[in-house]
Amino acid sequence: MIVCKFGGTSVADAAAITRVIDIVTARQASTPVVVVSALGGATNQLLDLAHKAAAGELLGAVQIIEQLRDRHLTVAAALLGDSAEGHELAVEIGGAFDELAHLAEAFRTLGYLTPRSLDAVAAMGEILSSQIVAAAFRRRGVDAPWVDARDVIVTNDVFTRAEPDAEGIAAACRARLLPHVQAGRIPVLGGFVGATPQRITTTLGRGGSDYSASLVGAALDATAIEIWTDVDGMLTADPRVIPNARLIERIGFEEAAELAAFGAKVLHPATIAPAVQRGIPVYVFNSRNPGGTGTMIAFDAPRFPVRAIAGKRNTTLVKLRSTRMLLAPGFLRRVFEVFERHRTSVDVVTTSEVSVSVTLDDEAQLGAILQDLADFGDVAVNRRAGVLAIVGAGIADSSAAIGRAISALGDIPVHMASLSATGINFTLVIDDEHVVPAMQRLHGAFFEQAVPAA
Ligand code: ADP
Ligand code: ASP
Ligand code: MG
């Protein structure tokens, strides 16, 4: 059994969905389960219209609803033609957007949104796309039942970033997916979406369809988890920043997880953990170039000092300086309890005798955090910071790679530097505006002949 997950661009229109069907049917012997994202860009539009409605811009919200309705109907019609199933699906799609229009009115009246209501809206993208894809398979003669992800991905109720319940998911996968797989059918479900045990809709956080795929793969002990996207695999850097980034044919689980956590959007950061637990290889392939070699992510991979770099912008750096500092037992614990209390995870940490520096991705609770930290000492904040991750299993084998990284940065000031305990990630915190030039210089130093001029 394998899991094949297709991202937004891979299901963006009828032609893309046709490619998906070709890719999956060519793998029929491996008994695939298919996980799909929303049609490319649909999640952003759904969230956007909810925010517009709550801000009183009902007209703008309705315009987006009508655009999305048209797009879904057009894609479904192109794939299903004038068939009975095409008509049924059109009615389903129409009903979903009518309901969305009612919701938008309710948001306008209320004047606010809750994380729970945002999840109900965002989930519609995957619920509809997966129904369209399943019906398109059937139209091509493939027995592909639609499975509602809310019956499979059991989560807690931390809306907009719900955490999965692995045991609940395993039981649901055995009950809802396995019988189809065993009967030679190809079940299709939406990624990103889940539900609480009370069946209230949740989502796993942006980009979460990759995570859905690896949760299903782990639950069913798949032989492979395939992430089909719009690039040839994991590359030595984000190709939008470094156009000549190179394909990595094989990379270790830990390296891939570090890259994902530090900005390589090609994989949702949580994707690797379920795969590692079961030792299931994760592949990244390009749905526009299905013959490509792609990337294999597994335990054993060639050991390089630096395998890839990643960068993350829009990070917040918080520096706490205190004279009652580190040697006092329990001091750091109390500092970190502040972040825990405000449900904010900390990314990079460095400490000195009199200071602690941390970076945060999520600024939502920043005000409350700063207030609490002020009890410990002086607090300074840089809300325009960025993080660079230089990742390689052998980065700590000598100091050469780290020396090369630092010298490549030249005159770019560094606010924090840290080597992970696993010795595979050398992380630097710099100013947000320097992230792109820093990545160019680092990529030049490690993967190109000459360091580009600054
Ligand atoms: P999908 O919709 O298929 O999930 P995403 O947009 O979430 O696709 O992820 C794919 C994108 O990730 C690529 O188009 C690329 O711009 C970006 N990306 C960032 N870092 C990397 C990297 N190291 N390797 C490959 N792609 C990367
Ligand atoms: N559609 C969701 C998003 O845009 C999930 C995903 O694509 O992985 O965040
Ligand atoms: Mg993605």
DSSP E strands in 64-167: the ranges are 146-147
Does 103 lie in the same domain as 213?
Answer: yes
Does 128 lie in the same domain as 30?
Answer: yes
pLDDT of 141 over the 50 cut: yes
Pocket test of ligand 2: the residue of 206, 216, 266, 284 to mutate, having most ligand atoms within 8 Å of its CB, is 206
Average pLDDT of 295-310?
97
Q: Is residue 211 within 6 Å of ligand 2 at its C-beta?
A: no
* Cα 404 from Cα 22, distance rounded (Å): 45
Residue 245 near residue 213, CB atoms below 8 Å: no
Q: Which of 205, 230, 255 is the last residue of a domain?
A: 230
Does 358 lie in the same domain as 219?
Answer: no
- Total tally of structural domains belonging to the chain: 2
* Cα 107 from Cα 103, distance rounded (Å): 6
Q: How far is CA 49 from CA 62, 104, 162, in A?
A: 8, 8, 22
pTM score = 0.95
Residue 125 near residue 46, CB atoms below 8 Å: yes
Q: Is residue 43 within 6 Å of ligand 2 at its C-beta?
A: yes
What atom of ligand 1 comes closest to residue 210's alpha carbon? 4
Does 198 lie in the same domain as 51?
Answer: yes
Of 283, 292, 151, 133, give the one whose Cα is nearest residue 214.
283
**CATH at 137:** 3.40.1160.10
Average pLDDT of 331-341?
92
Other beta carbons within 10 angstroms of residue 354's beta carbon come to: 13
Residue 178 near residue 195, CB atoms below 8 Å: no
Question: Residue 186 class from Cβ within 10 Å (0-12 exposed, 13-18 middle, 19+ buried)?
Answer: buried
Q: What is the pLDDT, as a whole number, of residue 449?
A: 61
Per residue, what are the HEC states of 178-216? Answer: HHHHHCCCCCEEECCEEECCCCCEEECCCCCHHHHHHHH
Q: Is residue 209 within 6 Å of ligand 2 at its C-beta?
A: yes
Q: Is residue 187 within 6 Å of ligand 2 at its C-beta?
A: no
What atom of ligand 1 comes closest to residue 6's alpha carbon? 3
Rounded distance from Cα 212 to ligand 2 centre (Å): 11
Ligand nearest to the CA of 265: 1
Q: Which residues of 234-263 are buried (b: 16+ CB within 10 A; e: fewer)?
A: bbbbbbebbeebbbbebbbbbbbbbbbbbb
User: Locate tokens 């825990």: which residue?
Assistant: 340
Vertex 11, ends 104 and 175: CA angle to 5°? 85
Residue 53 near residue 104, CB atoms below 8 Å: yes
* Cα 18 from Cα 137, distance rounded (Å): 9
HSE on the CB side for 244, CA within 13 Å? 10
Residue 412 near residue 437, CB atoms below 8 Å: yes
Domain membership flag for residue 247: no
Ligand nearest to the CA of 43: 2
DSSP E strands in 263-307: the ranges are 282-286, 295-298
Q: For the chain, give the percent of residues with pLDDT over 70.
A: 98
Q: Which residues of 277-303 are buried (b: 16+ CB within 10 A; e: fewer)?
A: eeebbbbbbbbeeeeeebbbbbeebee
Question: pLDDT tens, 380-434?
Answer: 999 999 999 999 999 999 999 999 999 999 999 999 999 998 899 999 999 999 9
Ligand nearest to the CA of 9: 1
Pocket test of ligand 2: the residue of 209, 212, 266 to mutate, having most ligand atoms within 8 Å of its CB, is 209
Domain membership flag for residue 312: yes
Q: Which residue, by CA, sits nearest to atom 1 of ligand 1?
A: 7
Question: pLDDT tens, 171-206?
Answer: 999 999 999 999 999 999 999 999 999 999 999 999
pLDDT of 345 over the 60 cut: yes
What atom of ligand 1 comes closest to residue 235's alpha carbon? 24
**CATH at 332:** 3.30.2130.10
Q: Is residue 190 within 6 Å of ligand 2 at its C-beta?
A: no
Does 224 lie in the same domain as 79?
Answer: yes
Domain extent, residue 172, equals 2-230
Q: Which residue, by CA, sits nearest to atom 9 of ligand 1?
A: 266
Domain membership flag for residue 137: yes
Q: How far is CA 102 from CA 2, 107, 304, in A?
A: 39, 9, 55
Rounded distance from Cα 239 to ligand 2 centre (Å): 19
Q: Which of 230, 254, 288 is the last residue of a domain?
A: 230
Does 316 lie in the same domain as 173?
Answer: no
Rounded distance from Cα 123 to ligand 2 centre (Å): 9
Does 193 lie in the same domain as 83?
Answer: yes
Does 102 lie in the same domain as 198?
Answer: yes
pLDDT of 452 over the 60 cut: no
Question: pLDDT tens, 103-138?
Answer: 999 999 999 999 999 999 999 999 999 999 999 999
Does 146 lie in the same domain as 19?
Answer: yes
Domain membership flag for residue 347: yes
Domain membership flag for residue 258: no
- Judged by DSSP in three states, 368 sits in helix
Residue 172 near residue 152, CB atoms below 8 Å: yes
User: Locate tokens 């000459």: which residue?
Assistant: 450
Mean pLDDT for all residues in the chain: 95
Domain membership flag for residue 273: no
* Cα 358 from Cα 381, distance rounded (Å): 10
Query: Bridge-partner residues for 32, per DSSP?
Result: 2
Q: How far is CA 224 from CA 100, 152, 283, in A?
A: 36, 19, 7
Q: Which residue, by CA, sits nearest to atom 8 of ligand 2?
A: 207
pLDDT of 453 over the 90 cut: no
Q: Which of 198, 230, 262 is the last residue of a domain?
A: 230
Domain membership flag for residue 302: no
What atom of ligand 1 comes closest to residue 241's alpha carbon? 16
Does 35 lie in the same domain as 167?
Answer: yes
Residue 254 near residue 301, CB atoms below 8 Å: no
Does 30 lie in the same domain as 171?
Answer: yes
Question: pLDDT tens, 253-299?
Answer: 999 999 999 999 999 999 999 999 999 999 999 999 999 999 999 99
Q: Is residue 192 within 6 Å of ligand 2 at its C-beta?
A: yes
Domain membership flag for residue 156: yes
* Cα 340 from Cα 421, distance rounded (Å): 22
Average pLDDT of 350-377?
92
Does 157 lie in the same domain as 56?
Answer: yes
